[in-house]
Amino acid sequence: MEEEVNNEREAYTLVVRKPCFGLPTACPSCLSLYIYLKFAQLPFLLDFNSTYPDSDQIPYIESSDYVAYNNENGGVIESLKKDGIVDLDTEFYSVPEWISTKAMVCSWLGDAIMYELWVGSDSSSAEKIYYPDLPWPIGKVLFLKQVHTVKQRLGITKDNAEQMEEEIYKRANIAYGALSTRLGEQNFLFENRPSSVDAIFLAHVLLTLQALPESSVLRTKLLEHANLVKYAEKLKMEFIEAGSSSSSASYFQSDPPSSASRRGPSNASSKPRSKPKRQKTREEKTFRKRAKYFVVTQLVAVLLFLTFMNRPDDEVELEDDEGYGYDD
């Protein structure tokens, strides 16, 4: 009985953005972390946070006095590795092809799904994922603000928009072809066992197939590779719909003894449920404190953004030319 109480106390809670499009969470970073934990068979409880859609700390995972945020140490998956909790990639760090494949999935495909969600012709998917619970005006302005940020990140301007779109889809198509060849008829991309690459890529495929509209160029290119679609459907059924089952146990090798003691109960469910109150950690208190200022900062951002967007172009040009149009 005492052992069960201790295990319950050490159970992990994964905090993500809310479910959407038939997925446990439709945020790319949240879904890849969710799948990674499923691959690792690390028991966790699932909780949702839709109050602060712009927070870069989500997703995060917590257990007792342990918290790992998305915006620290290279992300939650990297934190779990560094802290000795779970690492599916131990065997692949010295494999050049694995390293290059992960870089391709994170960059080329990461840019492609980001482009489709925020810059593509149909923006409804991103709004449903990130801003469903906000009043329409605030949600719309935050969406436009994020679109501006994504364009800056991808280097998209009015002058090169068509060229960048073509380049993004070209790279995505090359990536799909390479991954299709790499996968073949295997269950996973490397050594027929899961790694973080599979978690990130599977999240990408599921979002592309289920969250993007049928008119999506990215979705159309993905559907050209039948084995990638089959790969996603099989793993979704095995790890997401059915949960961690006995049939998936053979894919995962035990963690080092140092991390085994930090696991939760083996029969823990990933469905949301209430937790007993516990003392907040310093990291949690910091997160809560920052969260209090979210509404104020976003309202200020909305006002500044609207001011910037409504500013006449003529006014900007006059200011730029002022003092330089006269010959002394």
**pLDDT grade, residue 139 (50/70/90)?**
confident
User: What residues have CB less than 8 Å from 145, skipping those under 6 apart?
Assistant: 301, 302, 305
How far is CA 248 from its chain centroid? 23
- Look up residue 166 and give its amino acid: E
Residue 290 confidence (pLDDT) above 80: no
Collapsing DSSP states into helix, strand and coil, what is residue 287?
Answer: helix
pLDDT of residue 201: 98
CB 45 within 8 A of CB 297: no
**Of the candidate ranges 101-110, 218-227, 304-313, the one whose mean pLDDT is the lowest:** 304-313
The percentage of the chain sitting over the pLDDT mark of 70, rounded to a whole number, equals 71
Cβ neighbours, 10 Å, residue 1: 5
* Contact predicate 227/180, CB 8 Å: yes
Handedness of CA 285, 287, 288, 289 (dihedral sign): positive
**Residue bearing tokens 């459907």:** 233
Residue 281: what pLDDT?
Answer: 57
pTM of the model: 0.75
Q: What is the mean pLDDT of residues 34-56?
A: 91
Cβ(79)–Cβ(73) below 8 Å: yes
Query: Is the pLDDT reported for residue 3 higher than 60?
Result: no
The pLDDT of residue 266 is: 33
Distance between CA atoms of residues 28 and 200, nearest Å: 8
Token pair of 283, please?
A: 């990291």
- Chain-centre distance for alpha carbon 238: 20
* pLDDT(312) > 90: no
The span from the CA of 182 to the CA of 281, in Å, is 44
Q: Which residues contact 216 (CB under 8 A, 6 or more apart)?
A: 116, 120, 122, 208
CA 270/CA 212 separation, integer angstroms: 26
Residue 134 per-residue DSSP state: S
Instruction: Give pLDDT, residue 184.
Output: 96
Contacts of 124 (CB under 8 A, 6+ apart): 213
Is 44 in a helix, a strand, or coil? strand
The answer to whether 124 touches 136, Cβ cutoff 8 Å, is no
Whether 124 has a pLDDT exceeding 70, the answer reads yes
pLDDT digits (tens, 9 = 90+) for 77-91: 999 999 999 999 999
| Tokens 């295990």 belong to residue | 7
Query: Could you give all domains of the chain from N- to C-terminal order, each with its CATH number?
Result: 2-304 (1.20.1050.130)
Q: What is the pLDDT of residue 125?
A: 92
Q: Which class for 169: exposed (0-12), middle (13-18), buried (19 or more C-beta within 10 A)?
A: middle
- Is residue 189 within 8 Å of 201, Cβ to Cβ? yes
* Torsion angles phi and psi, residue 134, rounded to 5: -95, 150
For helices 28-40 and 110-118, what crossing angle results, to 10°? 140
Please give the mean pLDDT across all residues of the chain: 80
As a whole number of angstroms, the distance between CA 210 and CA 231 comes to 15
Task: Evaluate if residue 55 carries a pLDDT over 80.
Answer: yes
The pair of structure tokens assigned to 78 is 């990297």
Give strand ranges (E) for 99-232.
none
Count CA within 13 A, CB hemisphere, residue 316.
7
Is 80 exceeded by the pLDDT of residue 262?
Answer: no
Q: Which residues of 81-104 are buried (b: 16+ CB within 10 A; e: fewer)?
A: beeebbbbbeebeeeeebeebbeb
| pLDDT confidence tier of residue 120, bands split at 50, 70 and 90 | confident
